[in-house]
Amino acid sequence: MTDRAVAPPIIEIANLTKRYGRQTALADLSLGVPFGAIGLLGANGAGKTTLIRVLLGLTKPTSGSARVLGIDTQAQPIEVRRRVGFMPESDCLPRDATAAEFVGHLAEVSGLPTRTARQRAADVLYQVGLDEERYRLIKGFSTGMKQRVKLAQALVHDPSLVFLDEPTNGLDPRGREDMLELVNRIHRTLGIAVVLSSHILEDIERVCTQVIIIDEGRLLLSQALRTHDDSRGDVMFRVEGDPGPIADRLRGRGLTVKVGLGEAGQDIVVSPESDETFDAIRDGVAELGLPLRMLRTRSSSLEDLYIGQLSNGSGAVVSGGTEQNHAER
C-alpha cells in the first residue's frame, strides 16, 4: 500500500466540461484521485453518471481532459476500457441466459481466451457469492443476485479499476450489507481500485477512503475521508415547538448550537458531545417545559461534510446511519 500511496493518480481530470445542448452536466472539473476506494457523491442528476461515462471514454467532453490509470480517455478509450470495469446502475442483464454463460461471454468480449473466460467467470461468480446459482437463468434471480452478476461482469476481465454506479440500488438491508462487504473486499483484499457512485452517504462512508462530492456538475469537494474519524461527535435533538429558546439557553452555557437541520428543519445540533451537554439539554427542556421528541449522538461525519459543502441544501442525498439513536418518541 505504501507504493500505491506514492503512485500516480488513478484518475486525473483537468478543466472537464460536458454540455448537452444548453444543459451543463459537468462544469470545469479538475481533480486527481489516488489509488483507493473513491466515493462519488451527489444527488440524482448531479453529474455522477456523466462523469463515469467520460472516464470510460463513452462520451466526449465538451472541453478539458481526463486520464484514467494514466491513459487519455479521449485518445485511447479502448485501452481505458480494457483495464477498467463498469457496473451500471440500471437493470442490464439478459433474462434467458445463465450467469456463467453471460459473464463468460463478456470476459471473451474483453479479450480473454474462450476457455480462460469460462474459468474466470466461474471464479468471479464464486467470489461474489454465486456458486451453484451460476448455472441458473438470470430471470429467476433476485435483485441482490442480479447486482452480484453485474459486479461479477465488471470484475471478470481483472480490471485495475472498477466503476460501480449505485451498486446498492434496490437491495434490501441484508443485500445492501453484503454488497458493501463485497465492495470492501474488492478494494482491500483484491487490490482493485473502486469508484463508488452513490447518493447514499452511508454507503460511501462505510466503504470509501476518499470522497468526491459534485453538485449540478460542479466539484464541491475531493478529499480523504478518514480524517474525519478523529473529529468529535455532536448531540442532536428535537423539541416540539420553537427551538429558539432552548438554543439560546444552551448558547448561554457556552455550547455551540446549530438550529434548523434535519428534514423538518427543526433539529438542533449541540457541540461537543459530553455528559455536560446531555445534562444541559435535559435541564433546558425541563425548565422550558418543551416536549423532547428526539435525542441522539451524531458523529461528525460525511453528512457534515456534505451539508457544509452543499450551499443549496439539496434534500436528495440520503443520510445514513452515522447517528446512534438514544431516544426517539
Partner 1 sequence: MPSGELPGSPVAPGVSAGPARYGEVFDRGYQRYGGARLGRGHGVWAIARYSMKRAMGFKKGWSSKVIPFFVYIAAALTAVIPIGIEAFIGQESIPYEGFFGLLYVLQGIFVATITPEFMCSDRRENVLSLYFSRAITRLDYLVGKLVGAALLTLTVTLAPALLLWLGRQLLADAPLDALWSNLADLGRLAFVGTMLALYLSAGGLMIASFTGRKSIAVAVIIVGIVVLESLIALLLFALEGDASRIANFFSPTTVTSGLVSGVFEPDRPPPPSDQPDFAFAWWGYASAMAVTITLCLAIMYRRYVPAD
Q: Please identify, among the stretches 3-11, 185-193, 266-274, 304-312, the one whose residues bind partner 1 according to the rule CB under 8 A.
A: 185-193
CB of 324 to partner 1, least distance (A): 26
Interaction pattern, residues 97-116, with partner 1; x per rule: CB under 8 A: xx--x---xx-xxxxxxx-x
CB of 88 to partner 1, least distance (A): 5
For position 131 contacting partner 1 by CB under 8 A, the verdict is yes
For position 133 contacting partner 1 by CB under 8 A, the verdict is yes
CB of 197 to partner 1, least distance (A): 14
Q: How many Cα neighbours within 13 Å face the side chain of 266?
A: 11
Please identify which residue in 43, 56, 151, 255 interacts with partner 1, judged by CB under 8 A. 56
Please identify which residue in 11, 16, 127, 167 interacts with partner 1, judged by CB under 8 A. 127
For position 23 contacting partner 1 by CB under 8 A, the verdict is no
CB of 109 to partner 1, least distance (A): 4
Please identify which residue in 4, 32, 126, 226 interacts with partner 1, judged by CB under 8 A. 126
Largest interatomic CA distance in the chain: 76
For position 72 contacting partner 1 by CB under 8 A, the verdict is no
Q: Please identify, among the stretches 119-127, 211-219, 237-245, 249-257, the one whose residues bind partner 1 according to the rule CB under 8 A.
A: 119-127
- What whole-number distance in Å separates Cα of residue 299 and Cα of residue 322? 6
Please identify which residue in 63, 143, 185, 316 interacts with partner 1, judged by CB under 8 A. 185
CB contact at 8 A, 64 and 17: yes
For position 123 contacting partner 1 by CB under 8 A, the verdict is yes
Please identify which residue in 8, 15, 20, 308 interacts with partner 1, judged by CB under 8 A. 20
Nearer to partner 1 among residue 155 and residue 255 (C-beta): 155
Which residues make up the interface to partner 1 (CB under 8 A)? 18, 20, 56, 58-60, 78-79, 81-82, 86, 88, 90-98, 101, 105-106, 108-114, 116, 120, 123-124, 126-127, 129-133, 144-145, 153, 157-158, 174-175, 178, 181-182, 185, 189-191
